Amino acid sequence: MLKRLDGPETGRGDTLHPDRKEPASFDFLDAINFAWRNWKFIAGVAALAVLIGGLYIARQTPLYTATAQLLLDPNKEKAGAQDSMLAGFALDLPAIESQIQVIRSTSLLSRVVRQDHLVTDPEFGAATPVVGSRGLLGPIRAFFSPAPAPAPSAAPAGRDELGRSEPPTLEVAQTVQNVMGAVGVSRNGQSLVLNVSFTSADPAKAVRLANAIADAYVIDKLDARFEAAKRASAWLSDRLVDLRKQLRESEEAVARFRSDNNLIGAGGGNVTLNQDQLGQLNGRRVAARAETADKKARLDLLLQVQAAGGSVADLPDIANAGAIPELRQQENDLMRQAADLLARYSDRHPSVVNIHAQLADLRRSIAREAERLAADVKHDYDMALARQQAIEKTLNEVTGETDLDASKAITLRELERNAAVDKTLFEEFLQRAKVTEEQSTFEARDARVITPAQPPAPQTSPRTMLVLGASLVLGLAAGVGGAFVVELLNPGFTTPRQVEEFLDLPLLASIALMETRDLTNDGVLITMPEYPFVKPLSRFSEAFRSLRSAVQMSDVDNPPKVLLVTSTVPSEGKSTIAMTTAASAARSGLRTLIVEGDLRHPTVSRYFNAADGPGLVDHLVYGAELSSVVLRDEKLQLWVLPAGAKTQNPPDLLGSDRFRALIAELREQYDLILIDSPPLGPVVDALIVSQLVDKTLFVVRWASTPREMVAHSVERLASHRKVAGVVFNYVVHAQAQKYGKYAYSYYYGDRYYKKYYTE
């Protein structure tokens, strides 16, 4: 992007400080003006979207949804299933989600399909496409889906010898897939209520099938419980026969062993007197060893600390025992007092010396108390060790009396354990068998229908207002997005702000696009350069007066006298701008000369009918007198220097010393000189002439010439400081006014011009 050089060469008040930039920000007025500029495009896209939505609604079959409500009752579930083998689901979130999947399962829906004969139903039968075609994208999916293969004739379905549902036939499976797309199951908030809905083109059918699915779920739960109870009861009965036989054999083995070894039971037990004593002594020995080990560990830790030269008073067992805690508290209090005294006095102060003496005495007391507690630990260990040794001595004496019976005692205990395990297992299975037998005849419904489906009043699909509203919103969004892209892709300049930010130049004037009706005066066609004379109070004439004022203000100390008018590409109207500016200056009383600088396409010369006469080339090449080549146009009250004869090398001619001298001579004779040069894009003529002028007017076709091309052309100018600014040409004011505040001073002012002036 071009950067303006510091200096006074500015044409507008807000460009006198090039460093001051208005921050780029979005506001509400920007959006309003954007919508105003593009409302036709946005409205057209939105209308098209609404039309598409309307066509979609017209092509859709009205659908109705009926809903039944199921309550999952956990209390009845617990009452009907006390045994863990038959206990039902815990009604937490995963369990409820599982029940939702059960309702949507193929097995349950197959039962409904068979019960209601849906295989031959025209809406959901096997010959009907899968209901995935329902919904907004359904027709598209249905169009690309392969045609369903013809299904074989339906066969009657039932259950096998174990009570399991037989696999559905291909025809039933196809119907189930169709029905599945119309079934909806959801949880009602955080409750234990499930909403079972069914969607159909027939409201009565929707009610019937919603209730049928809910009832099928309740029956399926009862059937599943009954079948599970039957299978469990049969298995338990077979298992009890084996367990009863196994228990009898275990008890007989215990009895035989007692008889063979002449063992006498004590208090219902089967342990002899010596064995009883042995058991008690073993327990006491284990406890004594544990106590001795604990005391030994405490003593070892104490000895390790003493050997390392540490203080036993810091050990947890010592620090929290006896008088140690109280002495430590006193020590902390004295240390705080000592710290306070040291903060105020030196360490030789009597108070500090006294408190330190107290601390020393207290710490000696702590050491003495710790030594006493350490001696107690040693004493406790000695006592525990003595008790352990006494118990072990007694145990050794008893063991000597029972050594002969040890192997038999082990065998007896093993037989008794086996008999006890067999008895417990048999009693548990016997209890389960009784509960299961009752369960098979107990009808406990853990789910029930609380709200049967009712005939739906309004249709649920297609939702006319929702579809139309969504179409409108999407259409508006697409329209806004499309308009934004169109404006983004617009390569030309449309607002003064774009000129200032992209080129760092001011916009000097905005020249409107003149229609044929604007170029007539009492039925007579007039040219644009004649406008300042024929209609001096018109908005068009005022725009050129503003242009001349802006040029003069671009250098207040040295008002420019020689102006170059150029553009980037042809057909931007630079020649018309140059001639009309010259005519406006002449109308104001200035001696004005317009010089034909475009020697290849002399538009100015042709306008003044001087293309075939002598001119600039004749003066520079052939030495013709200046007075003979400068023409006076009485109608526009200005002077014209036409191109004259043809030349093969215009750049050399315009860069010659004679042309430089000619410009200097003309400065002395005229108040304002305008040079119409070729565009900067194709040739270099304007670059050469720009070195000789005071200021350059850069003409840009509004909303047309690419910004990058304009920027490149401005960069090519020999001195950027000589560019007075940009002139918009062919501006459509009706559109330009819609660019809001950034075009206000140039475009909106034209709206109010007639309030103060009349043509």
Q: What average pLDDT does the segment 186-209 reach?
A: 91
More confident residue, 417 or 320: 417
Q: What average pLDDT does the segment 596-605 reach?
A: 96
Residue 187 near residue 92 (C-beta atoms within 8 A):
no
User: Is residue 178 pLDDT above 50, yes or no?
Assistant: yes
Whole-number percent of the chain with pLDDT over 90: 35
Helix, coil or strand: residue 693: coil
Average pLDDT, the chain: 79
Question: Exposed, middle or buried: residue 541 (CB in 10 Å: 0-12, 13-18, 19+)?
Answer: buried
Q: How confident is the model at residue 366 (pLDDT cuts 50, 70, 90)?
A: confident
User: Is residue 77 pLDDT above 90, yes or no?
Assistant: no
**DSSP assignment of 429-493:** HHHHHHHHHHHTT----SEEEEE-----SS--BS-HHHHHHHHHHHHHHHHHHHHHHHHHH--S-
Question: How far is Cα 149 from Cα 87, in angstroms, rounded to an integer?
Answer: 43
More confident residue, 34 or 711: 711
| Residue 82 amino acid letter | Q
In the β-sheet with 638-641, what is the strand arrangement from edge to edge? 507-512, 723-731, 695-701, 562-567, 672-676, 592-596, 638-641, 631-633
Which is it for the CA torsion 342, 346, 348, 351, positive or negative? negative
Question: How far is Cα 639 from Cα 673, in angstroms, rounded to an integer?
Answer: 9
Q: For residue 281, what pLDDT is reported?
A: 73
Question: How far is Cα 672 from Cα 583, in angstroms, rounded to an integer?
Answer: 11
pLDDT tens per residue, range 671-730: 999 999 999 988 999 999 999 999 999 999 998 889 999 999 999 885 667 899 999 999
Tokens of 182: 């119309």
Q: How confident is the model at residue 6 (pLDDT cuts 50, 70, 90)?
A: very low
The pTM of this model reads 0.50
Whole-number percent of the chain with pLDDT over 70: 77
Q: What average pLDDT does the segment 61-87 reach?
A: 68
User: Is residue 379 pLDDT above 90, yes or no?
Assistant: no
User: Is residue 97 pLDDT above 70, yes or no?
Assistant: yes
Residue 67 CA from chain centroid, whole number:
35
| Residue 713 amino acid letter | S
The residues with which 68 forms a beta bridge, in sequence order, are: 196
In the β-sheet with 193-200, what is the strand arrangement from edge to edge? 183-187, 193-200, 64-72, 447-451
pLDDT tens per residue, range 494-541: 888 889 988 999 999 999 998 878 888 887 889 999 999 999 998 899
Across 90-94, 162-166, 228-232, 682-686, the highest mean pLDDT is recorded for: 682-686
Q: What average pLDDT does the segment 587-614 reach?
A: 96
